[in-house]
Amino acid sequence: MQKLTVIKIGGNIIDNPTELAQFLTDFSKIEGNKILVHGGGKSATKMAQSIGLVPQMVEGRRITDAAMLDVVVMIYAGQINKDIVAKLQAKNTNAIGFSGADGNLIQSDKRNHPTIDYGFVGDVKKVNTPLLQTLISNEIVPVFCAITHDKNGQLLNTNADTIASELAIALSEVYEVTLNYCFEKPGVLSDSENDDSVIPDINSELYHKLKSENVIHSGMIPKLDNCFNSLSQGVQKIKIGHHKMLQNETIVHTLITL
């Protein structure tokens, strides 16, 4: 079975031109099959605030009304996605940028929550594995933004960590998949103010303990929920940390295990 690396990068890397350039250099050097998924929440928040919108978050997830959807589509699927693709092309990585609507690659359902109206937010329903296989087998590097669709003409804002997780799960049927969550921190921290407090290994039992003690909170909760869901459905390995770990296995990071 061929190997596939799925990597998700967070907004803080995207917002820092130097960090982004170094990450894309590291990413371009990864041999074999690979997919990149990017967020961009901070860029979208800045744009929203500049036009008078007040971003709303619940447990690390964005509430997306019609006006905010326009912003995130413009920033995620437009500016950020095409900027990354252009920079990868400059590094001889033959990337193509996608939303979930392109080629019906990722179909979602509009979230139906019993108490919270998330607006135009999607939960992934289906990944078009055969088309992705075709792209990858032709040495295309897919670059996904955090936008999917419902197959009825509606675009949906979708958590980028979840997209990375669902892609990894779907493709684990045909590849040996490693999933990497890269952001500005060296891993999952026991003290969010101390970069030297990396938790090197987290299993599900420790995760529930740390969550109950509020050591792990906010946006790290959906990220880790996605990790354990992925591992339970066939993904081989998951790492969380700074992008330097992509080219150097000895760099401190967090390994997620069942």
Q: How far apart are CA 44 and CA 94, in angstroms?
A: 26
Looking at residue 102, its amino acid is D
For each of the chain's 258 residues, which pLDDT tens digit applies?
Answer: 999 999 999 878 999 999 999 999 999 999 999 999 998 868 888 899 999 998 888 866 779 999 999 999 999 999 999 999 999 999 999 999 999 999 999 999 999 999 999 999 999 999 999 999 999 999 999 999 999 999 999 999 998 999 999 999 999 999 999 999 998 899 999 998 899 999 999 999 999 999 999 999 887 888 899 899 999 999 999 999 999 999 888 999 999 998
Q: Is 111 annotated as a binding residue?
A: no
Q: What pTM did the predictor assign?
A: 0.94
The string of DSSP letters for the chain reads --EEEEEEE-HHHHT-HHHHHHHHHHHHH--SEEEEEE--HHHHHHHHHHTT---EEETTEEEB-HHHHHHHIIIIIIIIHHHHHHHHHHTT--EEEE-TTGGG-EEEEE---SS---BSBEEEEEE-HHHHHHHHHTT-EEEE-SEEE-SSS-EEE--HHHHHHHHHHHHTTTSEEEEEEE-SSSS-BSSTT-TT-B-SEE-HHHHHHHHHTTSS-TTHHHHHHHHHHHHTTT--EEEEE-GGGGT-TTS--EEE--
Q: Is 62 annotated as a binding residue?
A: yes
Q: Is 157 annotated as a binding residue?
A: yes
Residue 192 structure tokens? 């969010």
List domains and CATH numbers for the chain.
3-184+237-250 (3.40.1160.10)
Helix pair angle (220-231, 204-212), 10° resolution: 160
pLDDT in tens, 185-195: 999 999 988 99
Is there a contact between 111 and 122 (Cβ–Cβ < 8 Å)? Answer: yes
Q: Is 52 annotated as a binding residue?
A: no
Query: Cα torsion at 193, 45, 225, 206 (round to 10°)?
Result: 10
